[in-house]
Every structure is written in structure tokens, then in C-alpha cells.
Chain A
Amino acid sequence: MRETTITTSRPEPRSLLRFAAPQMFYPLAGRLAPWFATVALVLTLAGLWLAFFVAPTDAQQGEVYRVIFIHVPAAWMSMFIYLVMAFWSAVGLVMNTRLSFLMSRALAPTGAMFCFVALWTGALWGKPTWGAYWVWDARLTSQLLLLFLYLGFMALTTAIEDPRRSDRAGAIIALVGAVNVPIIYFSVKWWNTLHQGASVSLTEAPSMAATMLAGMLVMALAAWAYSIAVALWRVRALILERERHTEWVGAELTAQEGKL
């Protein structure tokens, strides 16, 4: 069966669930994305200012620790986005909602980007502090596996042409791969790793100066806002592609024709 899904029934117009319909979500995403992008820009500027001009020199590591302001938010984001993808995949499989699969597809490239950034900045931080760009310890290896899971998800969903099969195959990778996320997070506790333990946890006081922590959290919030903005923009293109046989996309395309 190929691309025969055309919206026939729509949820109650007043319910928030109406945004589960691609046709309703498309304009909403278009309105929201610029706001998240603006928030991301402001937070990034504030975070960089804290990172370079407010946070003090680290007593042990000197200045090289300033990599932390990208490294930790990127690593958090790479794990979190994968969990969100797994969540939308589960929703899609259970409720059979087309938009959920498109959401996890829209998030994957951003998650992969943050995953690569975490590995890259980690390598550049590892060299001066550990003496090696790379070691095969549990934290680094499981994070590398996460990058391969992202790339596998993207390769598989683009390779399968039939949208339903492609959605389902991607959802299975997302759900099975999600097991790796707690392994990454707890790897520094479960195994004897070269990578240091968490500096920030929910149960203990953070082991870093307040301004360092503030810079890191602001950068993490910036990464959140950025990811939301980019995913919303990306999902709009995916919706158009997937719904191209519907009347509303036809009307939207005609409306866009003059603007190009």
C-alpha cells in the first residue's frame, strides 16, 4: 500500500489533539519555530558571555575546561533527543499517528549533530587532560554507538521508500537503540572509566563553581531551544512531502509558488 492516506476524519476542533493532524501542525510549527530560534540565539549569546567572561579559570585544569560549555550540553542533548525519538516512535506504533513518526525523523539529524559535537569536543578536551584524543572506555564507546544509531536510523528511513514500512523500521531502531542511552549515562558509575563522573546530578550538590554551572545550564537551554526550532522547521518539509497528495498541500504549494 503506497501513500493512500488522506485525512478523512479530524479530531474535535477545540481539542489540543487536533494538532496531531499534520495539516493543523504545519502552520503551528511555522509560527513557533522563529520564537524558539530567537530564544536560542539570546541564550547562546548569554551563555557564551558567562562561559568566557564570567566563569573563573579552573583551579586544576586551567582554561581548557571551557570546552565544557559545549561538551556537556551537546552530550545531554544527544541522549535526550534519542529518548524523544524513541518516545514519538512508541506513540506512532501504538496510536498509528503519522505525525509522531515524522517528528522522530525531524529530530534525528540534530541529535546526530550534537552527538558528533560531544565526541569532537571530548576528543579535543581529552588530549590536553588525559594525553589521548580517544580511548575505548565505556563512556566514549557507548557515545560512539549512539552516533551510529542516529546514522543507522537516518540511513534506514531514507532507504525504504514505502512510508509505512520506513516509519516502522525507524521506530524499531529508535526503540531498541534507546537501551543504549542509560548505558551511556551510567557508564561512568558502572565501569571504571577514564571519563570523569557527572559534575551535575539531581541528588548531590554540583561539584563546580556557581558561575560555571550557570554558564553550562544556559548553554543547555540554548541547545534545547535550538533543537526545537530546527526540528519544527524540518518537520514542515517532511509534512509537505508526505502529504503531497492532499488538497491542503496542493493549496499551500500554490500559495508558495508566487514567493519562490
Chain B
Amino acid sequence: MQWESWNAFWEMGGAGPFVWGSYAVTAVLVTMELVMVLRGRSETVRRLLRLRRVTAGQESGRRSRDRA
């Protein structure tokens, strides 16, 4: 164990802002990327489903026009 107390741990021998600034920004970016990637797939599925409904609607519209 390197640290006399939790305070000493957070202070990092006076380098606290530099050390924790590095780790915090990395943690935020990694979390953001994970959220974006996992959400991205369900958004893609939803968008493609919508797209399919739109094109299906156009096709059936065209077919009924052709019949008329």
C-alpha cells in the first residue's frame, strides 16, 4: 500500500489535478463512446425499419396507380 490516507491518495503528492484530470477525461470519453456505439445500433435498426415502411408504402402506392 502506497498511501498513508485517502487524502494523500487524492492529492497524488501535489499532482492531483494532472493525474485525475487524465483519468477523468479518459473515463468520460470511454463511457461516451460505449453509450454512442450501443445506442447507435438500435437507432440504425429503427431508422432502417422506418425506411422500409416508407419504401413499402411507395411501392404499394405505385402498384395501385398502375392498376387504375
Contacts and interface: CB of A to CB of B under 8 A. Distances in A.
A56 B37 contact: no
Nearest to B25: A120
Interface stretch (A14-22, A142-150, A194-202, A234-242): A234-242
Interface of A is mostly: helix
A253 B38 contact: no
Contacts, number: 93
What is the interface residue range for chain A against chain B?
35 or more
Interface stretch (A64-72, A155-163, A180-188): A64-72
Contacts of B18: 64, 67, 124-125, 127-128
A66 B14 CA distance: 13
A259 to B, nearest CB: 9
A236 B2 contact: no
Given A64-B12, A233-B38, A260-B46, A70 B22 contact: yes
Interface stretch (A82-90, A93-101, A109-117, A165-173): A109-117
Given A117-B25, A230-B37, A234-B37, A253 B52 contact: yes
Contacts of A121: 22, 25-26
A4 interface: no
A70 B41 contact: no
Contacts of B17: 124
B13 interface: yes
B6 to A, nearest CB: 12
Contacts of A63: 12-15, 19
Nearest to B40: A237
Interface string B7-24: 001001111011101110
Interface in A246-260: 249-250, 253, 256-257, 260
B48 to A, nearest CB: 5
A49 to B, nearest CB: 11
A72 B44 CA distance: 34
A256 B45 contact: yes
